[in-house]
Amino acid sequence: MEALGNLGINLSYLVVQILNFFIVMLLLSAWAYKPIVKILDERSAKIAQSLEDAREAAEARDNANSEAEKIISDAQAERAKIIAEATQRAENSASEVQKSVENERAQLLEQAQEAAEQYKENVLLDIRPQVAAMAIAAANKIISSELDEARQKALVDEFFSGIAAGKVSVLDGASLQGENAVVTSAITLTPDEQKQIEAELKDKLGSAIEIAFQVDPGILGGIVVRVGEHEIDGSARRALETLQQTLI
């Protein structure tokens, strides 16, 4: 005690100060420290929650950005697909239109060709009497005698059709084989003449044979019959060529 007194320390006062300190500490612990710690804990919890919310918000934002990019990518792909399909449809439509135009043009050309061919045959058929009249007039001068009308008609028909006395002269004794026949005349044959030729061809080759008739004024008269690779030329042109070679 004396030592404390020598140091200038009052023991009683020291004890009182120590007691006051503990009392203050108890009071601060009860009324100040715990509330402050509680407040700090709550703030720490709020900060932690805020950080967690911020993290979740960042994740949500990243997910939203990824989803948005995916949606945009899908939309761009869909747009490209739609454009490609529309382009393809347009090209197909243009191709179909072009084909339709080409087909229509081809049909028109074919119809025009058929019409021209028919017109030519009709003209040739119309001028048949005139040609016959000139031939008969020439024949009359040569033989110095008149031919009656029936005989004139028979000679004309025989000259252009190659049918004499009810027979197709070029087919008489001919040996033919084939499934298709083409008959060429200088002018359009009459229906009766065509039937006569068809009947004799079918008699030689069978009823299943297909027969086509065509006109070539260049043969002058008579008919040319082609069956497969075999041709029987009974035309007036051929007769003139043969006569020319004989005279030479």
User: pLDDT by residue for the chain (248 residues), tens digit each?
Assistant: 555 555 556 666 667 777 777 777 776 666 666 677 777 778 888 888 878 877 887 787 878 778 878 888 887 888 888 888 888 887 787 777 778 778 887 887 788 777 767 766 665 566 556 555 555 544 554 444 455 667 666 777 777 778 887 788 888 877 888 889 999 988 888 889 899 989 988 988 888 889 999 988 888 888 899 998 888 888 888 877 777 676 65
What is the C-alpha to C-alpha distance for residues 83 and 87, in angstroms, rounded to an integer?
6
Report DSSP state, residue 99: H
* pTM: predicted TM-score of the whole model, two decimal places: 0.44
230 Cβ neighbours under 8 A, 6+ residues apart: 176, 177, 178
Pairing state between β 222-227 and 210-215 = unpaired
Pairing state between β 210-215 and 180-185 = parallel
Residue 144 has a pLDDT of 44
Residue 167 has a pLDDT of 85
What percent of the residues of the chain are helix, what percent strand, and what percent coil, each to the nearest 5?
Answer: 75, 10, 15
Residue 195 has a pLDDT of 92
Residue 77 has a pLDDT of 83
Residue 152 has a pLDDT of 67
Residue 23 has a pLDDT of 76
Q: Which of 37, 25, 191, 187 is nearest to 120 (CA)?
A: 187
Residue 126 has a pLDDT of 60
Residue 183 has a pLDDT of 92
Name residue 212's beta-bridge partners: 182
Residue 184 has a pLDDT of 92
What is the C-alpha to C-alpha distance for residues 218 and 41, in angstroms, rounded to an integer?
122
Report DSSP state, residue 189: P
User: Strands, E, within 88-171: which ranges?
Assistant: 163-164, 167-168
What is the C-alpha to C-alpha distance for residues 202 and 165, in angstroms, rounded to an integer?
19
